[in-house]
Amino acid sequence: MVFHVKNAHTHKKILTKMMISLLIISTLLFFLVQVSPVSAQDEAASLTGTIYDGGVDIDDDGIYDSLDIGVEVNVTTAGTFKINVSGLYDSSSNTIAVSNQNSTTLDAGIQVVYVSLNGTSIYTSGLNPVTVSSIALYDESDHSLDSLSDISLSGEYYYFNFGLLPASLTGTIYDEGVDTDGDGYFDYLNLGVEVNVTTAATYTVDAGGVYDAAINYVSGSVVNSTYLDVGIHVVYVAINGTEIYAETVSPTTIASIYLYDESNKTLSDLNDITLPTTYIYDEFQRPNIEIEFVEVEREIILDQVGSIYVTNAYRITNIGFWISTIELGFPEGAYDFEVRDEMGTLATSTENNVMTVTLRAVIDTNETETLYLNYRIPRSNHISQQNGIDYNLHFTFYEQFNSTIGKLTVSITLPKGAKFQSSTPLETMSCTFSDVTPSDDLNFEVNYKYNVFWGSFYPTIWMGILAVAASAVTFFWKAPKPSASPRIQIPPKDLKSFVDSYEEKTRIRSELEFLEERLRKGKIPRRRFKVRKKMLDGRLSTVSRNLSSLRETIRAAGSKYANMMRQIEVAETNLEGAERDLQRVETRYRHGEISKGAYGKLLEEYNHRIEEAEATIDGVLLRLRE
């Protein structure tokens, strides 16, 4: 009996412990249940990273009322979620303060939730949205589940898409050729641009040039800023008729028209607008060519042998329309011309004592250039002699300048041994004048004494020196020498002509390369490129013909010169081959046919070949010059 009671007591204790344990487990489960929704809900949904966007025009008035952002959500456990879209950026990372959110119940799967951003807020910012600042995903307890930042918009939007523009282009234009001076040529092409104004203010219309059927441009833009009241207005902009004529472009199309507000923000634009009227470039005004001679320096040099050498430096400023050629006068009988600029020799043509110089590059309005013109003139036309030793030099400015010369400097160098006597109107052998006008008398005379003995004195001294030198060589060079084989003597002027012509050829090729580079970069109108290239090609053809004739003359002078010509020909062949290979490899690289590493190695190899060929040619030219 005692044993039975003891066993019952033991079971009672075990039961009590079990009850306590169950109570503890229940309590723990209760707390876990309270905590578990957060953890479970964290994995209930996430953002896929994909968004959609579009402007929404609710009332079909042509203005977006909102910018809707569609956010793609991957839902693993159905529930209520909230999407918050905050802020927009423009291309310069300026912030557009606009935000909104959307709370909705989503089933499991990929869902798209749309959030509308207020269009008025975008419009008043004056900024064009390109990026969403941030997107956040929350559960129904506002616990953050996922987020994105700096998400690019797929569409292109302008702030004025979201509000009523203060003004816009209607798309209607008018045109008219205007002859202001009644000479039968259009001084301007007037373009009338129709503008619809809803808010009175000052607006700017900018027309960006015209082109013809062959896409030859008259570049540059013309603008007109004016105050406009509410309503439909026509704003006129005028394109210079001289530009149209000079470019020989018969305009058919306006390249672009822009409308700006007072802060220079673009409100509206049109592109490639056909002109209502047909025009021929020949209907427009001819250019006004006007050159100002800022400074002219002339030196007249009389040497011992009786020739007269004249050097001229013309510093000119173009105060008229752009020019590609200039005319300079020279005296009757002048010969042995040299015309150049700071970079080298220039192409010329002459007629009736007037030389037309083709400039290396166009001189635009208000630009300055310096040209050098040198030549020789016959002694008999300008120097008279009396009593065997009295001489008179008479000269004039024959250019017939049409404008004032700002500064004119004239200097005279007499032959060695001559003695200056007097001059009219010059008081010295060098004199400077200011503001010389076409009506000024530019004739002058110089009287000097000169004994012909001095004309032969210096050559005699040099002959004596040469004779002494020859005697010394003969004295120290006693060993008999084999007789030299006969060879043809080459006039030094032929060697000089060859070197000068070859250097001219090199300069022309460099100019052609530079011209093509400017065309590729859009820095020169195609029409001007064609004109300039045609001129350079003509010069290159002429120089090449001269070189071919001189090359044969020099080759016939003996094996030494024949070998030099052969070296140049081989180097030219190598140079042309390397340049072709270089162009070919650049094309292949642009098309992705070779790797960057292979391209770099080939580029280095071909440039090295070009440098070697050019060095060979330069070396031969240097020996010929010596």
3-state SS, 150-177, equals EEECCCCCCHHHHCCCCEEEEEEEEEEE
Is 135 in the same domain as 214? no
6 pLDDT more than 50: no
**Nearest in space to 331 (alpha carbons), one of 401, 395, 405:** 395
Mean per-residue pLDDT, 566-572 = 86
Is 300 in the same domain as 444? yes
Span 230-274, pLDDT tens digits: 999 999 999 999 889 888 899 999 988 999 998 888 888 898 899
Q: How far is the CA of 452 from the CAs of 367, 379, 386, 461, in angstroms?
A: 48, 15, 13, 15
Least confident range from 142-146, 174-178, 224-228, 518-522: namely: 518-522
425 pLDDT more than 60: yes
Q: How many CB atoms lie within 10 A of CB 212?
A: 20
Residue 542: what residue type?
A: T
Query: What's the length of the chain?
Result: 626
The answer to whether position 35 is within a domain reads no
pLDDT tier at 181, thresholds 50, 70, 90: very high
Is 64 in the same domain as 81? yes
User: What contacts 46, CB < 8 A, 6 or more positions away?
Assistant: 73, 74, 76, 137, 145, 146
What's phi and psi for 215, nearest 5 deg? 60, 35
The token pair that represents 108 in the structure block = 């499991």
Give this prediction's pTM: 0.43
Q: Rounded CA gap, 579 and 516, in Å?
A: 15
The answer to whether position 16 is within a domain reads no
Is 71 in the same domain as 216? no
DSSP state of 342: S
Q: How many CA atoms lie within 13 A of 193 on its CB side?
A: 32
The answer to whether position 31 is within a domain reads no
Q: What is the CA radius of gyration of the chain?
A: 44
More confident: 520 or 399: 520
User: What contacts 365, CB < 8 A, 6 or more positions away?
Assistant: 318, 319, 320, 321, 322
Q: Rounded CA gap, 410 and 195, in Å?
A: 61
- The residue from 127, 162, 197 where one domain ends is 162
Q: Rounded CA gap, 594 and 597, in Å?
A: 8
Is 183 in the same domain as 326? no
Q: How far is the CA of 490 from the CAs of 453, 487, 495, 551, in angstroms?
A: 32, 9, 7, 12
- CA 384 from centroid of its chain's CA atoms: 56
The answer to whether position 357 is within a domain reads yes
Q: Rounded CA gap, 315 and 568, in Å?
A: 38
Is 429 in the same domain as 510? no
pLDDT tier at 543, thresholds 50, 70, 90: confident
The answer to whether position 11 is within a domain reads no
Range of the domain at 138: 45-162
Instruction: Let me know: does 489 contact 557? Beta carbons within 8 Å.
Output: yes
Is 172 in the same domain as 210? yes
Helices and strands, counts by H and E, the chain:
8, 29
CB contact burial 45-58 (16+ within 10 A = b; e otherwise): bebeeebebebeee
Is 319 in the same domain as 450? yes
Report the CATH number that the domain containing residue 76 is assigned in CATH.
2.60.40.10
Mean per-residue pLDDT, 535-555 = 78
pLDDT tier at 463, thresholds 50, 70, 90: low
Span 48-104, pLDDT tens digits: 999 999 999 888 877 899 999 999 999 999 999 999 999 999 988 899 999 999 999
The token pair that represents 366 in the structure block = 């208000």
Bridge partners of 80, per DSSP, are: 105
Is 172 in the same domain as 156? no
pLDDT tier at 40, thresholds 50, 70, 90: very low
Work out the mean pLDDT of the chain and round it to a whole number: 81
User: What contacts 355, CB < 8 A, 6 or more positions away?
Assistant: 327, 328, 329, 330, 337, 339, 348, 349, 373
Report the CATH number that the domain containing residue 237 is assigned in CATH.
2.60.40.3870
Q: Between 526-555 and 559-590, two packed helices, what is the crossing angle to 10 degrees?
A: 150
The answer to whether position 310 is within a domain reads yes
Bridge partners of 67, per DSSP, are: 55, 117
Span 572-590, pLDDT tens digits: 888 887 887 787 777 777 7
Domain count, the chain: 4
Strands 291-302 and 405-413: parallel
DSSP state of 373: E
Is 307 in the same domain as 430? yes
Report the CATH number that the domain containing residue 311 is assigned in CATH.
2.60.40.1730
The answer to whether position 525 is within a domain reads yes
Is 577 in the same domain as 621? yes
Q: Rounded CA gap, 366 and 412, in Å?
A: 32
- CA 549 from centroid of its chain's CA atoms: 38
- The residue from 105, 130, 162 where one domain ends is 162
- The residue from 229, 257, 283 where one domain ends is 283
The answer to whether position 519 is within a domain reads yes
Is 311 in the same domain as 450? yes
User: What contacts 292, CB < 8 A, 6 or more positions away?
Assistant: 316, 317, 318, 319, 403, 404, 406
